[in-house]
Amino acid sequence: MYTQALDSPGKDPVAATGEAAERFQARVDADEKIEPKDWMPEAYRQTLIRQISQHAHSEIVGMLPEGNWITRAPSLRRKAVLIAKVQDEGGHGMYLYSAAETLGVSRAQMVEQLLSGAAKYSSIFNYPTLTWADVGAIGWLVDGAAIMNQVPICRCSYGPYARAMVRICREESFHQRQGFEIMMTLARGGAAQKAMAQDALDRWWWPSVMMFGPSDADSKHTAQSMRWKIKRFSNDELRQKFIDVTVPQAHFLGLTLPDAHLRLDEVSGHYEIGPIDWSEFHAVLKGNGPCNRERLEARRAAHAAGEWVREAAAAHARKLEDRAATAQHQERGSP
Amino acid sequence: MSGDWPLYEVFVRSRGGLEHRHVGSLHAADSRMAIEHARDVYTRRQEGVSLWVVPSTLIVASDPAEADALFEPARDKIYRHPTFYVIPDEVKNL
Ligand SMILES: [Fe+2]
Ligand SMILES: [Fe+2]
């Protein structure tokens, strides 16, 4: 899922000048795809490396909040679905890391940046999953917001990123629908179940709305990213689309959105929401969300615990290579 | 942090009778692990009936900067296409 306009620290991309840069921009303007070996401005490369690796990290860290419920899923069916969903997110991380690597950054470098805390990932995964309803709310809202964000990236100017995104988007729809189904089941259940669904919506609504990143006025990278066709819509445009499709779904569930100011503007046909608490967003991004530390610790522990497996696999591969080399020598009759 | 496992390019045959198509890449310690990872990463929904994995270092690619020199010679040979030849309408089955 889950790219987010994080606008993380980093210099403003400087527009490249010169003949090569002009030819590059002309290709982008003509909707041609840029491929790994093509010439590209350094700032384009760096912007993509940052965005794609943040996106990949988000998929990987995103496995944690839902993974928390795999052992406690309420039925075998729910458990099988949740395992498949979490595995998909791992797969999304793999597609994206591969796409980023075509730009010249190594997997090891990206993993290192995540584990050291230098890299950002989507703010949404720093919230805890307290009840089973949270698994429903994540699929419905968080994957729903991710779909809004990601569908336009399928047309991104950088070929490997666009192709990875096509694969991802094909898989996201199942994620959102299984989440909505969980919410629907709870909303139609007993009073305690309905209350659980409402509580999950109360806690996940605003963080989901914030997934689209800072408002356009505060979003410094948007213009250049749009010129490069990495981004097609602004944060606020995508946020509005998400709100407009999601509010009626909440009404269908018979749940109330936690926003006293929410109203349908009859003239524009859009829902208007109350003010967003951006201080919360920035606090979470800075590392002070409810679960930031826990998430990174979980990733570090997994990486450390896997070290001996990686070493053993590499040793095994060396052994196979040596054996193959020896066999070849013997066949040729050399010592 | 130690280096990465070698990179493999993955090709999937989606159905019998079709060609293998490039779908992406992955890291694996050896070729057998590459096949297993390719199964998990690229065919979770029956996307394929056969897999190829190729160490990325073995792929030789043409240089985009030389694309003109490589492909330009074919550009003016439109007589290689059937539409180049004008045949009267009354002639059938041609
Ligand atoms: Fe995903
Ligand atoms: Fe997802």
Q: pLDDT tens-digit profile of A162-183?
A: 999 999 999 999 999 999 999 9
CATH number at residue B12: 3.10.20.520
Residue A290 has pLDDT above 90, yes or no: yes
Name every residue whose Cβ is closer than 8 Å to that of residue B71 and which is 6 or more positions away in sequence.
none
Q: CB pairs below 8 Å between A and B: how many?
A: 55
Does residue B18 lie in a domain region?
Answer: yes
How many angstroms separate the CA atoms of B60 and B70, rounded?
15
Type of residue found at A187:
A
> What interface predicted TM-score (ipTM) does this complex get?
0.87
Q: Which domain holds residue B48?
A: 2-60
Of B4, B40, B45, the CB nearest to A106: B4
Q: How far apart are CA A19 and CA A126, in angstroms?
A: 45
Is residue B4 less than 8 Å (CB to CB) from chain A?
Answer: yes
Residue A13 pLDDT: 54
Decide if B82 is inside a domain: no
Note whether A91 contacts B44, CB cutoff 8 Å: yes
Contact between A96 and A48 under an 8 Å Cβ cutoff? The reply is no
* Cα torsion angle, A286, A287, A290, A296, sign: positive
Within-domain flag for B93: no
Q: Model-level pTM?
A: 0.91
Cα-to-centroid distance, A302 and ligand 1 (Å): 20
Whether residue B65 lies inside any domain: the answer is no
Tell whether B79 is covered by a domain.
no
Question: Which range, of A109-123, A216-230, A284-298, averages the lowest pLDDT?
Answer: A216-230
B16, part of any domain: yes
State the CB neighbour count (10 A cutoff) for residue A144: 26
Residue B54 sits at the chain A interface (C-beta within 8 Å): no
Give the SS3 label for residue A181: helix
pLDDT at A82 over 70: yes
B65 touches A: beta carbon within 8 Å: yes
- Give the number of domains in chain B: 1
* B1 interfaces chain A, CB cutoff of 8 Å: yes
In this predicted structure, the answer to whether residue A238 has a pLDDT above a threshold of 90 is yes
pLDDT digits (tens, 9 = 90+) for B12-69: 999 999 999 999 999 999 999 999 999 999 999 999 999 999 999 999 999 988 988 9
Residue B90 domain-assigned?
no
The verdict on residue B17 lying in a domain is yes
